[in-house]
Amino acid sequence: MLARALTIAAVALGASAGPAAAAPSLLQWALAPLHAVTAWQQSTGSGALVAVIDTGVALERPELAGHIWTNPGEIAGNGIDDDGDGIVDDVHGADFANGDGTPADDNGHGTHVAGIIAAHGLLKGLAPDATIMPVKVLSHDKSGNAHWLAQGIEYAIAHGARILNVSVNGDGSSDELEAAIRDAQDAGAVIVASAGNDGRDLRARPSYPVSYDEPAVVGVGAASSNGRRARFSNYGPGVDVTAPGEGIVSLGLPGFAYRSGTSMAAAYVSATLALESAAAPVYPLPILRDVLLRTEGAGGMLDTAAAVQTAAAATAPVTTAMVKPKPKAKRRHHKKKRHHARHRARRHATRARA
270 has catalytic annotation: no
CA dihedral (336, 236, 308, 164) in degrees, to 10, reads 30
**At residue 83, what is the residue type?**
D
**174, 207, 263, 277: the active-site residue:** 263
171 has catalytic annotation: no
Residue by residue, what is the 3-state secondary structure of 250-317? EECCCCEEEEECHHHHHHHHHHHHHHHHHHCCCCCHHHHHHHHHHCCCHHHECCHHHHHHHHHHCCCC
**109, 112, 147, 159: the active-site residue:** 109
Cβ-contact 219, 210 below 8 angstroms:
yes
* Angle (CA) 124 130 132, round 5°: 100
Cβ-contact 195, 328 below 8 angstroms:
no
Cβ-contact 3, 175 below 8 angstroms:
no
106 has catalytic annotation: no
Count of CB atoms situated within 10 Å of the CB of 312: 18
**54, 90, 129, 171: the active-site residue:** 54
Cβ-contact 23, 122 below 8 angstroms:
yes
Active site members: 54, 109, 263
